[in-house]
Structure 1
Amino acid sequence: RFISNSVYHISGSTALRVGVVVILIGTSVLSAWSLLPKAEYLPTGNRNLIFSLLLPPPGYSLDELIEVGQQIEDVLRPRWEAVPGSPEAAALEGPTVGNMFYVAFGRSAFMGSSAGDPLRVKELIPIIQQPLFSVPGMIAIVRQSGLFQGFGGGRAIDLEISGPDMGQLLALGGRIFGQVMQIMPEAQARPIPGLDLGNPEVRIVPDRVRAAGVGLTAREIGVNVNALMDGALIDFYQYEGEEIDISLKGEDDWFRTQDIGQLPMYTSTGHTVPLHSVADVVVTS
C-alpha cells in the first residue's frame, strides 16, 4: 500500500516526477563514474594519431614557429605525397602519412598526424622527432594518443615544486628537467607552464630625487622612453586634405631587454644621462 500511495502521489505532481527522473539519472552517472577504472589500467590501444606539443625556447616569435612547421612539412611531404603501394612509398624508410595538421599560436604550437597504414603509426614518432629535436632549445613531446585518453588520469608522473622566488624555481626546474632527460632519455618530460618567464614586463619607476638633480621630471622620462621604444607623436601636417602624423622614434633593433637601463635621457640642460641613473628598471613576469 505504501508503494502504491507513493507512486500515486508522485504521478500527481510534475515537480516530483521531474525530481525522480533527475535522481535516477544522476545516481546512474555517479555510479558509472565511480566504477570507471583509471586510465593506467586501460589498454592504450593502437590509435592512428600521433600528437605533438612544441614548447619553443624563450624569445621565439610566431613567424619562427611557422618556420618550424614548414621544416616538419618538408620532412613529411614525401610521405603524404607517396601513394600507398607505389614505388615511391616502397622506397621510404617508415610508413606514409595519411593526414597532418599544425597549429601555432602565442608561444607554443601543436600538431597531429596519422599514418597511411594504421598498424605502423608508432614508426612516425622518431620521424617527427628528428626535425623537432634539431631546433636548439625546443622541447617537443611526441606521443601516440591513447584510446581512453582523458578518462581517469594516465601514466604520467607529476613532480611539483613551489616557493616564493620565481627565478629560483625556474632555475631548479631547469636542473630537474635536465636530470630527468639524462636518467630517462626515453621519457618525454614536459615543464608546466615552462622554464622561462614567458613575456616579461618591464616597469620603469622614476626616482624623482635623482631625476630632479639633472633637471628631468617623471613626465619627461616617460616621453623619452616612449619615443625611443615605440615612437612619440610630436606634430602633424595636412597633405591633400589628410592629416599626416609626425612621430619621433628611435632605432628598431639596437637594444635588448636588459639594455633598457642604458637608454639615453636628454635633459633640459643639454646633457645626456642613462635611464638607470634617474629611474629603476624592474623586469617582472
Structure 2
Amino acid sequence: IRMVRNNLLLGMALAIGVLWWFLRKFRATLIVALSIPLCLFAAFLVMNAAGRTLNIISLAGLAFATGMVLDAAIVVLENIFRQREAGRSGNDASERGTVQVWGALLASTATTIAIFMPVVFLKDEAGQLFSDLAITISAAVAASLLVAVTVLPCAAANWIKGEAIEDIHREWWRWTTNHIMKWTDTARKRWTWIAVLTVAPFVLVMLLKPAADYLPEGKQNWISGFMIAPPGLGVETSKRELMGVIDKRLEKHMNGEHPLQLDNYYMGSSPGFGTFIGGKASDPDQVEELIGVFNSEILTGIPDTLGFASRAPLFGGIRGGRQINLDLQADSFESLLTAGRAGFFKVMEVLPGSNVRPLPGLELAEPELRLVPDDRRIAEVGWNRSRMATIVRALGDGAFLGEYFDGNRRYNVVMRAEQWFTPEELASVPVATPSGEIQTIGELAQLVRTAGPTQIRRVDRKRTLTLAITPPAELAIEEALDIVREQVLPDVYAALPQDGTIKLRGTAEALDEALKSMSGSFGLAIVILYLLISALFRSFKDSLLVIMTIPMATVGGIISLRLVDLALTANGGQQMDLLTMIGFVILLGLVVNNAILLVYRARDAEREGMSRRDAVESAVRLRLRPILMSTMTSIFGMLPLMLIPGSGSELYRGMAAVIVGGMLVSTLFTLVLLPSLLRMNEERKMVMVPSTRTA
C-alpha cells in the first residue's frame, strides 16, 4: 500500500511538472493541477458509496487516473488561452473556450467510462479483482469533466486576468503542423500512410504477441515445498525420517550461521498427500536464492523421496495458482499408473524447473482387500452381482436402505453387519440365501490381498490420476501448455489403453475460458466505442475514422510490454497475464480521445466554411498542443507504476506498460494517420474559381 501511495504522489508530481513545461505559467499550471485533488476526492466518495475499500488495486486505479483527469482540464484551459491570445476578455474567453470543446470532451469522457463496462461485467477472477480499478477510474474521469467545465473556467477568468498570454512553443507547433500537412499533401502519400499504418499493426501484433499467462505469481515472501515420500510411509515414520532430517538441515538458516535466513518455517505430513513445508525469508530479496537452496540441499539426498520448492503463489487459492492439471482417466488403474509415470518423467525432461505432483501417488502402497465374486455360486443360491454388491456394502460402511419419518424428522436407514477385523473373519461371515441355505462370504467370493492407491480419485465419476504441473515462473502458461500438448501428451496417450482419455484442467481450463472472455470483452468494447462515437458525432463514417487509430495503440502496448519483459528477464520477466490484457481494453477508451479532438475540430471548421485542407490544417494546429499535453501528463503520471519495482507491482506493472506504450505510439502516428484519412478525396472537394481579371 505504501509503495502504491508513493507512486501515486510521484505520478502527480511528474504530471504537474510536464504541465508546467508546456504552459510555463504558475497560475495556469495550478488551475489545471487543481483537478487532481478534486477528482480523487470524488473517486473516494464514489468508492465509499459503493462499499469499496482502499487497497492496492483501488490505489493503483487512482494512480492511473492521476494523468487522465488532467485531459479535460488541459483541453479547456488550452482553448481558453487560445481565445485570450485572440484578444478576448477573461470572462468571454472562458465561456467561449469551454463551449467550443464541450462536445468533444463529452464524447471522450463517455468513451473512457463506457470502456470499463466489459471489465466490470467480467465474471472471471480478473474481473473480480479489477472491478475496484474500473470504479475508481470511471469516477475520477467523470468528475474531471465536471471540474473542467465548471471550476476551471471560473478559476481561469479570475486568476489569470492580467497574466500575459504567450505560447513559447508556438513556432514548434507551426513547424510540426506544416510537416504533417506536407507529409499528407498528395493522394499517393496519404494512401501510403493509410496502408502502412493500418496493415503493419496487424502484422506486428501477430509477430510480437507474447504468450498468454493466467494470473501473476506475485512476489510473496513465502517458500512452499513438497516431498513425495516412499509408498506406505506412515505419519510417525515421516516425522522421524523426513521431517527430523529437514529440521536439522534448517537449523543453520534459523540461528544465523548461514547468510540466507528464515524468520520461521512449518512442516506437516498427511497420508496419501506427502510431506509439505513452508518458510518465510528474513530478507524478501533472498527468496529466489533460498528456493535454490531448498531444491539443492534441504529437500534432496533423502532415499526414495522426491522434493521441490517454489515461491508461494499470490493467487494460490484461485484454481491452483499457475497449476496445470493433467487428468488421466481409464478403467484400469494399473494402466493409469503406467501412463502417469511416463507423463511424470516426460514433464521433468521437457519442462526443467517445473514442479510435478501426482495425485494420488505413482505407487500402489496401501494394503487392499478385493472380493472377486464367484458368479456360478451366486447364481446357484438365487442372487446376482447387484445383490452381492449390497451385501458387501453392508459388511463395510453400510448399505443405505431408505428413510424413516417419525412425524418430526427424517432418519437414514442403514444396514450394517457385525464388525470384522481380519480377512479370515470376513470370509467366515454367514449370510442367508433365498433358498434357505447358510453360506459364508468366502464361499460366494474369492478374497484377494493386494495393494492399491493411497486414495481413490474420481473426476466426472471416472477413475482419475492427476499430474499437477507448476511451470517455472519465467514460462507463460500458454507456452507450457503448448509444450505439454506437443511433447508430453503423445507419450502419455501411447501408454494409455483404448478407453483412456486425457483432459487439461486447472489453470489450463481457466486460461481457455478467460481468453474467450477477454476476446469477447475486447470486441464488445470496440462495438461500444463505435456506437457511442457514432451517436455523438451523428456520423458512422467519422466514428470509423476514430476506430481506425486503435490498431496502432495495440502495437504500442505490445512493444512496451516486450521491452519491460526484456528489462525484467533476471526477475522472471513480465508475462501477458489477464491483468495485463485488461490494460488493452482500458487503452481503447484512452487512445480514441485524441482522434475525437481532431475529427471534431476538423468537422467544425468545415461547417464554418473552410475547405477540407484548411479544416484539417486548422484541426492539427489548434489541437496539437492539447493532445501532446494530455498524452504526456497521462504517460508521466503512470510511469512510476511501470518503472518502480516493489511488492505488489506485478499486479499493475504490465497494465501500466501496455497503456503507456499504447498511448505513446498511438499519439505519434495518429497525427499522421488521421490527417491522411480526413484528407481522402480532398481533390474532389476543391472548387475551381474562374479568374475575374480584366484586361
- Which TM-score tier does this pair reach, normalised by the shorter chain? 0.5 to 0.7
C-alpha contact (below 8 Å) 2:217/2:322 kept by paired residues: no
Q: Does 2:270 correspond to 1:105?
A: yes
Q: How many pairs does the alignment contain?
A: 192
Contact 2:254-2:264 at 8 Å conserved across structures: yes
Out of 311, 318, 322, the residue aligned to residue 155 of structure 1 is 322
Secondary structure of 2:232's counterpart equals: coil
Q: 1:280 to 1:133 in 2, by over 3 A?
A: same
Tell me which of 112, 118, 124 is aligned to 2:284: 118
Q: Report the counterpart of residue 72 of structure 1 in structure 2.
A: 246
The residue that corresponds to 1:20 in the other structure is none
Distance 2:422 2:318 in 1: 56
Give the match for residue 235 of structure 2: 62
CA contact (8 A) 2:218 2:314 kept: yes
User: Which letter does structure 2 place at the counterpart of 1:101?
Assistant: Y
Indicate if the aligned counterparts of 2:267 and 2:275 stay in contact, CA closer than 8 A.
yes
CA distance in 1, matches of 2:421, 2:352: 52
CA contact 1:51–1:111 (8 Å) conserved in 2: yes
- What is the CA–CA distance in structure 2 between the aligned matches of 1:33 and 1:205, rounded to whole Å? 49
What SS does structure 2 have at the residue aligned with 1:150? coil
| CA positional deviation for 1:224 | 9.7
> Structure 1: how far apart are the matches of 2:373 and 2:330?
30
- How far, CA to CA, are the matches of 2:422 and 2:247 in structure 1? 45
**1:262 corresponds to:** none
**Contact persistence 2:215–2:322 (CA under 8 A):** no
Between the aligned partners of 1:284 and 1:102, the Cα distance in structure 2 is 28
1:234-256: CA deviations, max 9, x gaps?
xxxxxxxxxxxxxxxxxxxxxxx
- Deviation (angstroms), 1:111: 1.3
Q: Report the equivalent of 2:366.
A: 199
Structure 2 unmatched ranges of 5 or more: 1-49, 52-119, 131-211, 378-419, 426-445, 453-695
Return the letter of the residue paired with 2:294: I
Structure ID, larger Rg: 2
CA RMSD between the two structures = 3.9
1:45 aligns with 2:218: yes
Partner letter of residue 74 of structure 1? K
User: Residues 165 and 223 of structure 1: is their aligned pair in 2 closer, same or farther, counting only changes over 3 Å?
Assistant: closer
Question: How many angstroms does 1:103 deviate by?
Answer: 1.1
The Cα shift of 1:31 comes to: 4.3
What secondary structure does 1:54 align onto? strand
Looking at structure 2, the residues matched to 206 and 149 of structure 1 have their Cα atoms a distance apart, in angstroms, of: 45
- The one-letter code sitting in structure 1 at the alignment partner of 2:305 is M
CA change 1:223–1:60 in 2 (3 A) is closer
Q: In the alignment, what sits opposite 1:183? A: 350
Counting aligned pairs with the same residue, the percent is 29
Q: Deviations over 1:186-240 (max 9, x none)?
A: 1111112221235231247799x9xxxxxxxxxxxx999759xxxxxxxxxxxxx
Shift of 1:128: 2.0
Select 1:167's aligned residue among 330, 334, 339: 334
In structure 1, C-alpha distance between the alignment counterparts of 2:291 and 2:320, rounded to whole Å: 23
- Counterpart mapping for 1:1-285 below 5 A: 31=121, 33-34=123-124, 35-36=127-128, 40-66=213-239, 67-82=241-256, 88=257, 92=258, 94-107=259-272, 108-129=274-295, 130-151=297-318, 154-203=321-370, 281-283=448-450, 285=452
Q: C-alpha separation between the residues in 2 aligned to 1:41 and 1:167? A: 34
Q: Aligned pair in 2 of structure 1 residues 181, 136: CA closer, same or farther (>3 Å)?
A: farther
Q: How far off is 1:76 after superposition?
A: 0.9
Whose helix proportion is higher, 1 or 2?
A: 2
Instruction: Give the Cα separation in 2 of the matches to 1:113 and 1:167.
Output: 37
Alignment-derived partner of residue 610 in structure 2: none
Whole-Å separation in 2 of the counterparts to 1:78 and 1:149: 29
Q: Deviation of residue 65 (structure 1)?
A: 1.2
Is the 2:250–2:298 contact (alpha carbons within 8 Å) kept by the matching residues of 1? no
Q: Indicate how the Cα distance of structure 1 residues 118 and 136 shifts in structure 2: closer, same or farther if over 3 A, else same.
A: same
Distance 1:109 1:186 in 2: 20
Q: Hey, which of these two has a bigger chunk of strand by percent?
A: 1
Q: Which runs of 5+ in 1 are unaligned?
A: 1-23, 83-87, 210-221, 228-278
Relative to the length of structure 1, the TM-score reads 0.55
| Distance (Å, rounded) in 2 between the aligned partners of 1:159 and 1:224 | 38
Amino acid at match of 1:113: G
Partners of 1:223 and 1:64 in 2: CA distance: 24
**Given that residues 267 and 278 in structure 2 are in contact (C-alpha distance below 8 angstroms), is that contact kept between their aligned partners in structure 1?**
yes
SS of equivalent to 1:98: strand
SS in 2 for 1:133: coil
Shift of the alpha carbon at 1:183?
2.3
Instruction: Write out per-residue CA displacement over residues 140-197 of structure 1, whole angstroms, 9 at most, x where no aligned residue.
Output: 3411112233236633333222111001110110111112112223111111222123
* Cα 1:41–1:162 shift into 2, 3 Å: closer
Q: Are the structure 2 counterparts of residues 40 and 206 from structure 1 closer, same or farther at C-alpha, using a change threshold of 3 Å?
A: closer
Contact map agreement 2:330 2:336 (CA 8 A) in 1: yes
Q: Secondary structure at the match of 2:358?
A: coil
C-alpha distance in 2 between matches for 1:203 and 1:57: 23
Change (3 A) 1:114 1:153: closer
* Contact 2:219 2:314 (8 Å CA) reproduced: yes
Post-superposition shift, 1:137?
Answer: 3.1
